């Protein structure tokens, strides 16, 4: 602060010196000045011997002061003229000629002397303070970077964690131990020293850890795995020691390490050797976890979404001896999570959380929070006062599919091909009992796709049988086969569909044991290759004959799925035309309209949930023939009210 004040004073003084007006009067030329003197019109003259500046005043009593610049050394003619024409004060008049030789201000001289000295002193002070800061940073580099929250923080409890009842029951024992450890010590029971929360990203592992600390009412120390890593060798181990020492001083506390896989990877894997900084940090953590006793009241919690790469010594009993899986929320959990995020937001009374939850399978808690926020943003953009179901529909499409590219220009042929492509997907999904029901079909370009057929499961699926896998492949083939039936050729739009179908067929053969020729064998070579274990091992794998047999089985399954898809589209060709024409007119139709149009073509389908479609036109529909134009036109006109 003093340095800045010194510099400000210097700048102010310099401005004050150089901002003075050097012109003391109205400027005139030196010739005019001599002319005034020659005419005897000059009353007084003041000459600066150092700069040659001349200031003079006339006899007209106007008080105007004139200034000019002459030679630094006065010559004799000018002096004689001044002596003759300018009256002297000795004559009893005011004025006369005066010569001055100004000297420099002592303060200015002192300032110019002290300025370089002050700058030099300020530079050394700045260097000293910077060196002290660096030394302080070096001295504190081994300290833990954990953020400590007192009993008031976090205030999170289990009530703030929606869903996950099974997870809460699993970790209640830790809360009971921290609240009343004497209950466990009296009977001689030992509580887990470490608890590992395992689950996909966004499922709320950190939130659950904070809720445990809030329920137990103990300090909560939070740190991420990357905070232990430093370019200096041994710093990570030093930070681990400092972390546990700080926790011991608190008595009962919870140490939470997020993303522990960054320092807890399997030792000796890969090409890094066994003496790098990460492994030294892990060794120190293993020693610290074995060093403190359960009676000290310190519980370690950690979170990761990659438990398969953790070191076995970290997971053995006595360290992280209990793993709690935090999976993606189920249907009931999603309802509770959505209800929590909808609190404080304006929403319509008829907003059905059950429908929203059923349409969000596989979404984590973070995804659901983002979905609610996107729906609120859509409501604001539309100028609506409350959040409605239509906003959630748009938000889900935005999150799952991407942004609608309404400005994309397509030819009529491309739009028609896309309509039949999506109609093929929708038809194959609707007429198969083992496939999820159709929810929405659109030919509006969305994300990277020219069209989308969205299906919606009635319940959460945790496994897949052979019939369901085959139904998914048939549905994936629907777009390509529909293009071939209508236009007698296929396009590149089916590239992603073929990839999905091939992946399913490959997993049926190599992982799920659904091929009779291959038998009950697992031939999948997927694994944590990045760990480097495969580089140190020679895996036998399977023979070339087996690889050839795998390719033949995958091809057979795909061809059978394509044949079955072609049979369905041929059987319900009228329904294919109806759906395609409806898409061409409305661009987007609902799943209910897909089922209604198929029933108009002669199919006998039921709505999802075993609700029959009781349209009168369904019973009166003509059988499948080539004359479906009239039915198509009638169905498209009926869709206008639905839209």
Give the full edge-to-edge strand order of the sheet including 42-48. Answer: 26-27, 65-69, 53-58, 42-48, 96-100
Angle between helices 591-600 and 629-642 (to 10 degrees): 150
CA angle 567, 572, 575 (to 5 degrees): 145
Closest CA to 247 of 288, 275, 215: 288
Q: Is residue 46 a contact partner of residue 55, using CB atoms and an 8 Å limit?
A: yes
Q: Which two tokens stand for residue 94?
A: 């005011």
**C-alpha angle 79-85-91 in degrees, rounded to nearest 5:** 105
Instruction: Return the exposure string of 379-400: e unless at least 16 CB atoms fall within 10 Å of the residue's CB, then b.
Output: beeeeeeebbeebbbbbbbbbb
Q: At 302, which helix (H) or strand (E)?
A: strand 298-304
What number of helices (H) and strands (E) belong to the chain? 23, 16
Checking DSSP bridges between strand 220-224 and strand 194-198, what pairing results, if any?
unpaired
The two beta strands, 65-69 and 53-58, are antiparallel
Dist CA 387 CA 243 (whole Å):
46
Say which residues have a Cβ less than 8 Å from residue 199's Cβ, sequence separation at least 6. 205, 303, 305, 325, 326, 327, 328
Active site residues: 422
Q: Other C-beta atoms within 10 Å of 609: how many?
A: 7
Kindly report the backbone phi and psi dihedral angles of residue 266, in degrees, each rounded to the nearest multiple of 5, phi listed first: -60, 130
To the nearest 10 degrees (0 to 180), the angle between helices 591-600 and 412-431 is 80
Q: Which of these, 578, 560, 564, lies nearest to 426 by C-alpha position? A: 578
Tokens 């030992």 belong to 190
Strands 96-100 and 147-149: unpaired
Distance, CA of 346 to CA of 386 (rounded, Å): 5
């Amino acid at each position: 602060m003093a340095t800045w004040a010194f510099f400000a004073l210097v700048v102010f003084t310099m401005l004050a010196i150089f901002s003075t007006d050097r012109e003391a009067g109205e400027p005139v030329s030196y010739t005019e000045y001599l002319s005034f003197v020659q005419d005897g019109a000059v009353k007084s003259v003041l000459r600066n011997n150092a700069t040659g500046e001349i200031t003079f005043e006339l006899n007209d009593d106007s008080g105007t002061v004139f200034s000019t610049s002459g030679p630094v050394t006065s010559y004799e003619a000018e002096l004689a003229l001044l002596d003759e024409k300018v009256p002297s004060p000795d004559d009893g008049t005011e004025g006369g000629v005066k010569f001055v030789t100004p000297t420099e201000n002592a303060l200015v001289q002192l300032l110019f002397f002290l300025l370089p000295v002050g700058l030099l002193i300020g530079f050394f002070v700045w260097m000293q303070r910077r060196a002290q800061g660096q030394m302080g940073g070096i001295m504190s580099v081994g300290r833990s970077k954990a953020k400590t929250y007192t009993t008031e923080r976090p205030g999170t409890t289990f009530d703030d964690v929606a869903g996950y009842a099974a997870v809460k029951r699993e970790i209640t024992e830790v809360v009971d131990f921290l609240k009343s450890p004497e209950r466990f010590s009296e009977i001689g029971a030992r509580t887990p020293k470490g608890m590992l929360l395992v689950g996909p990203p966004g499922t709320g592992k950190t939130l659950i850890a904070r809720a445990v600390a809030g329920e137990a009412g103990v300090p909560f120390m939070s740190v991420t795995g990357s905070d232990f890593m430093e370019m200096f060798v041994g710093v990570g181990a030093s930070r681990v020691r400092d972390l546990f020492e700080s926790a011991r001083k608190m008595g009962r506390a919870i140490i939470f390490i997020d993303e522990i896989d960054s320092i807890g990877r399997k030792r000796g894997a890969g090409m890094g050797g066994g003496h790098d900084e990460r492994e030294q940090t892990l060794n120190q953590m293993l020693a610290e976890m074995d060093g403190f006793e359960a009676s000290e009241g310190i519980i370690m919690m950690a979170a990761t979404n990659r438990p398969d790469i953790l070191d076995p010594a970290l997971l053995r009993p006595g360290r992280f001896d209990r793993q709690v899986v935090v999976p993606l929320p189920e249907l009931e959990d999603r309802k509770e999570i959505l209800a929590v995020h909808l609190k404080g937001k304006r929403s319509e009374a008829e907003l059905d959380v059950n429908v929203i939850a059923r349409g969000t399978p596989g979404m984590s808690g973070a995804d659901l929070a983002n979905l609610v926020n996107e729906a609120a943003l859509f409501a604001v953009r539309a100028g609506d006062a409350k959040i409605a179901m239509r906003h959630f529909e748009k938000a889900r499409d935005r999150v799952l599919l991407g942004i609608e590219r309404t400005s994309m220009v397509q030819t009529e042929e491309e739009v028609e091909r896309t309509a039949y492509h999506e109609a093929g997907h929708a038809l194959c999904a609707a007429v198969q009992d083992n496939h999820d029901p159709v929810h929405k079909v659109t030919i509006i370009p969305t994300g990277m796709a020219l069209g989308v057929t969205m299906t919606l499961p009635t319940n959460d699926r945790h496994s897949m049988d052979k019939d369901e896998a085959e139904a998914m492949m048939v549905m994936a083939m629907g777009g390509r086969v529909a293009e071939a039936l209508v236009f007698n050729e296929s396009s590149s739009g089916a590239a992603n569909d073929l990839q999905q179908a091939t992946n399913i067929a490959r997993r049926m053969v190599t992982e799920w044991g659904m091929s009779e020729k291959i038998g009950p064998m697992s031939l999948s070579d997927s694994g944590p290759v990045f760990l480097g274990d495969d580089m140190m091992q020679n895996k036998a794998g399977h023979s070339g004959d087996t690889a050839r047999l795998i390719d033949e089985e995958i091809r057979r399954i795909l061809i059978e799925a394509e044949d079955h898809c072609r049979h369905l589209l041929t059987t319900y060709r009228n329904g294919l035309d109806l759906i395609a024409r409806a898409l061409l007119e409305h661009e987007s139709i609902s799943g209910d309209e897909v089922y209604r149009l198929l029933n108009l073509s002669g199919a006998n389908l039921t709505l999802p949930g075993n609700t029959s479609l009781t349209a009168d036109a369904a019973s009166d529909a003509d059988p499948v023939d080539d004359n479906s134009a009239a039915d198509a036109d009638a169905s498209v006109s009926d869709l206008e009210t639905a839209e």
